[in-house]
A and B are shown apart, each in its own frame.
Chain A
Amino acid sequence: MNSAAKNPATNGRTRGWWKSHRFLLLRRTSQLLVLALFLAGPLAGLWILRGNLAASRLLDTVPLADPFILLQSLVAGHLPSATALTGGLLIAAWYLLWGGRSFCSWVCPVNMVTDLAFWLRRRLNLKAGASLVPATRYWLAGAILMVSALTSSLAWEYVNPVTSLPRGLLFGFGSLWLLLPGLFLFDLLVASRGWCGHLCPVGAFYSFIGLFGLVRVRAAGRSRCTNCLACYGHCPEPQVIGPTLQKKDSTHAFILSPNCTNCGKCIDICPEEVFGFALRFRPSRPGSSAPNPNQEE
């Protein structure tokens, strides 16, 4: 087993193509499905989701809204009406369940652009780039709320790529399409994982919801870890893995950093199948809290 794991690039054990790509495929399916549900209305007259990622109605009944935009609106001096607040609470509750930054890797369309840049960066072996501090995003999020308050407007929403891209796709891009090559080239040439991993204030906001996210990645099989570093190489937020993987004496094996996007890349890539998704708070059964490799998944 150990000798087979020496080569992390090809999966040491024969895990099969599906097992090493399933979360990538599921995520792409989820991201495209969300866009498709929105696009089905204007293109085919099937109004499943009406609106865009800022706010929408599911089947013309359930309101949904992005809590970060509502927060900006509140700070700018407008109390959104009950419909939007309900929608915001529903979305917040949803990500409380699935982990805040699941939005980033399972829904946000920008992720597909930056993932492509990340992949190409690895393929072209591009190493150079600016070193940004991952915490930059919190400062930008703070600045956005400040600007919203000072200008009494949703200034960020003039440029926010996360809402602009789907809005462009659904309501006409105009020159908004420039955001696509802009973000792609920035991530490819200027900073690795620059946007999603360091700058995006929307992701920063969802990190806060993620503080209490229920579904988390758990390194249940960390005793098997061979330090091949494959997970670090592919993780969009590599700083989140270390604390869990290295402190092998800690009682739980959850990746608790709110920056983890629950993308499942580490689960796909790890030749030793160290990682898996798990519920953070389980009903306490005797012995269930201890990491038990045979019990995961």
Chain B
Amino acid sequence: MAKHLSSSPGNPTGRRRFLEDSARLLCLAGLFGLGLGAYGRRQSLAMSWDALRPPGALAEERFLAACIRCGQCVRACPYHALHLARPEEAVATGTPFFTARRIPCELCEKMPCIRSCPTGALDPMLANIYEARMGLAVLVDHETCLNFLGLRCDVCYRSCPLIDKAISLDTQHNLRSGKHTLFLPVVHSKFCTGCGKCEKSCVLERAAIRVMPLALAKGELGRHYRLGWKEKEEAGKSLIPEQLDLPDRLPETGAPLDSGWKP
């Protein structure tokens, strides 16, 4: 290319200038790269808790390599739930997201957002919309949730597209009144798509149930943990051959206590 016509590397001053220019440009490009890398890293960490990716979105790190910010999913969404992030929002600039409390995902069966994505950042292999995991609903505040206060609000439960699967109502004795039942909303991560309809519909000023990114909402068991009852179910019998029954003793006298339990 005609970038150094006057300074061909052939003559000494030309060569010197070429080297100087190259060194200068290398520094410049290095500084630029460092700045860009640092800024990009900050951008990728910026994800706000209430920003949710469209259905089928790859895991966040992979998503940031795959999404080219074309906004076709935004255009495809019939409910105008999706937005492209602006620099001042706490989401990687230009990438699509929705906020459940504003407009939740309506779980279109034809998945127009996924079908419009040209790059595969929204995974075309998602077989049906109920397999989407945009986040996980969490009942974050037990003190203001009306059902916890003993009322029959139930709105999150009723609005859940997977009622009785993703959100169920567990009953518990109401100790305050002594004679009523509490109907406590419980979210099941096996089914919850993270669409956000529960958060949107929560009647409180600020929602007591909120959809959060999975990494924020889910704990993780140690990989070596075995749940005895599940192992038993799989194996068809207890994995422990026989249970020892040690005598229960009273703390002070050490005399054996007859608990009445017999194996």
Give the residues in chain A near B87, CB-CB below 8 Å.
158, 174-176
The answer to whether A155 and B40 have CB atoms under 8 Å apart is yes
The answer to whether B71 and A170 have CB atoms under 8 Å apart is yes
Give the residues in chain A near B72, CB-CB below 8 Å.
50-51, 55-57
The answer to whether A155 and B61 have CB atoms under 8 Å apart is no
A226 on interface, CB distance cutoff 8 Å: no
Q: Can you list 19 pairs linking A and B with CB atoms under 8 Å apart?
A: A51-B71, A54-B71, A57-B116, A79-B120, A80-B119, A84-B68, A134-B3, A135-B25, A148-B65, A152-B62, A154-B65, A155-B37, A158-B92, A159-B39, A167-B71, A171-B84, A174-B87, A174-B89, A240-B2
Type the 1/0 row for A261-295, where 1 means its CB is closer than 8 Å to any CB of B.
00000000000000000000000000000000000
Binding site for A on B (CB under 8 A): 1-5, 21, 24-26, 28-30, 32-33, 36-37, 39-41, 43-44, 61-62, 64-72, 74-75, 83-84, 86-89, 92-94, 116, 118-121, 124
8 Å CB contacts to B: which residues of A51-106?
Answer: 51-52, 54-57, 63, 65-66, 69-70, 73, 76-81, 83-84, 87
Identify which of A121-129, A136-144, A187-195, A215-223 touches chain B. A136-144
8 Å CB contacts to B: which residues of A158-213?
Answer: 158-159, 163-164, 167, 170-176, 207
Give the residues in chain B near A69, CB-CB below 8 Å.
68
A140→B29 CA distance, assembly (Å) = 5
Tell me which of A65, A139, A142 contacts B68 (CB under 8 A).
Answer: A65
The answer to whether B41 and A151 have CB atoms under 8 Å apart is yes
The answer to whether A80 and B37 have CB atoms under 8 Å apart is no
Tell me which of A78, A134, A170, A175 contacts B86 (CB under 8 A).
Answer: A175
Give the residues in chain B near A42, CB-CB below 8 Å.
75
CB contact under 8 A between A158 and B40, given known A55-B119, A174-B87: yes
Best-surrounded residue of B64, B72, B87, B118 (most CB of chain A within 10 A):
B118
**B71 nearest CB across to chain A (Å):** 5
Tell me which of B36, B64, B68 contacts A66 (CB under 8 A).
Answer: B68
Closest 5 CB pairs between A and B? A174-B86, A155-B40, A55-B70, A143-B33, A81-B120
* Inter-chain pairs besides A140-B32, A148-B65, A175-B87, 4 sampled, C-beta below 8 Å: A135-B21, A151-B37, A157-B93, A163-B94
The answer to whether B21 and A133 have CB atoms under 8 Å apart is yes
The answer to whether B36 and A155 have CB atoms under 8 Å apart is yes
The answer to whether B70 and A52 have CB atoms under 8 Å apart is yes
* Tier of interface size on chain A: 35 or more
Give the residues in chain B near A156, CB-CB below 8 Å.
36, 40
CB contact under 8 A between A70 and B68, given known A152-B61, A159-B36: yes
Tell me which of A54, A139, A144 contacts B26 (CB under 8 A).
Answer: A139
Give the residues in chain A near B64, CB-CB below 8 Å.
76, 152-154
Tell me which of B2, B5, B61, B119 contacts A259 (CB under 8 A).
Answer: B2
Give the residues in chain B near A63, CB-CB below 8 Å.
118
**A220 nearest CB across to chain B (Å):** 20
Give the residues in chain B near A78, CB-CB below 8 Å.
62, 65-66, 119-121
**B107 nearest CB across to chain A (Å):** 22
A147 on interface, CB distance cutoff 8 Å: yes
The answer to whether B94 and A167 have CB atoms under 8 Å apart is yes
The answer to whether B118 and A81 have CB atoms under 8 Å apart is yes
Give the residues in chain B near A143, CB-CB below 8 Å.
29-30, 32-33, 36
A242 on interface, CB distance cutoff 8 Å: yes
> Nearest residue in B to A56 (C-beta to C-beta)?
B70
Give the residues in chain B near A146, CB-CB below 8 Å.
33
A262→B73 CA distance, assembly (Å) = 34
A242→B2 CA distance, assembly (Å) = 10
Tell me which of A66, A83, A207, A243 contacts B5 (CB under 8 A).
Answer: A243
Give the residues in chain A near B94, CB-CB below 8 Å.
157-158, 163-164, 167
Give the residues in chain A near B116, CB-CB below 8 Å.
50, 57
A51→B67 CA distance, assembly (Å) = 13
A164→B93 CA distance, assembly (Å) = 9
Tell me which of B29, B32, B70, B89 contacts A51 (CB under 8 A).
Answer: B70
The answer to whether B25 and A147 have CB atoms under 8 Å apart is no
The answer to whether B69 and A167 have CB atoms under 8 Å apart is yes
**A75 nearest CB across to chain B (Å):** 9
Give the residues in chain B near A151, CB-CB below 8 Å.
37, 40-41, 44
A12 on interface, CB distance cutoff 8 Å: no
The answer to whether B75 and A54 have CB atoms under 8 Å apart is no
Tell me which of B4, B26, B32, B68 contacts A55 (CB under 8 A).
Answer: B68
> Nearest residue in B to A255 (C-beta to C-beta)?
B2
